[in-house]
Amino acid sequence: MAQRKNPEHRSELLQGTLDLMILKALDALGPLHGYGIARRIEQISEDLVKLNEGTVYASLIRLSQNGWISAKWGASENNRRAKYYSITAAGRKRLAREKESWERISGLIFRILQLDEGQR
């Protein structure tokens, strides 16, 4: 959604990719707040993906509505009020499925692209 409105992104985010990245981050690192998730994505993507960090929050709402993550208000490291998100069992299952289908689709696209080059 946001990426549509910000054409300066280096790489267009496919729908669902952000969700997947958030699930993966929560799976790997345990409970995080929004800022922490943004940092993790920045670190992993090594600046390949530049996103408006606020987009994370819409994603988080979607994910928690599906029951894939849960949220809880808590105190942060410097004793400020922050909302912590953690992945649920359903979220882990979803992650595994997404991963599988992602691998299949990326494999498919890879093959299609190879095919195109071969025909040229």
The residues of the shown chain that bind other proteins, judged by CB under 8 A, are: 1-2, 5-6, 14-16, 33-35, 38, 52-55, 57-59, 61-62, 64-68, 76, 80-83, 90, 94, 101, 104-105, 108
Pick 27 or 82: Cβ nearer other proteins: 82
DSSP letters, 51-80, are --TTHHHHHHHHHHHTTSEEEEEEE-TTS-
Minimum separation from the CB atom of position 119 to other proteins (A): 16
Q: Alpha-carbon torsion 19, 22, 27, 28, what sign?
A: positive
Pick 12 or 28: Cβ nearer other proteins: 12
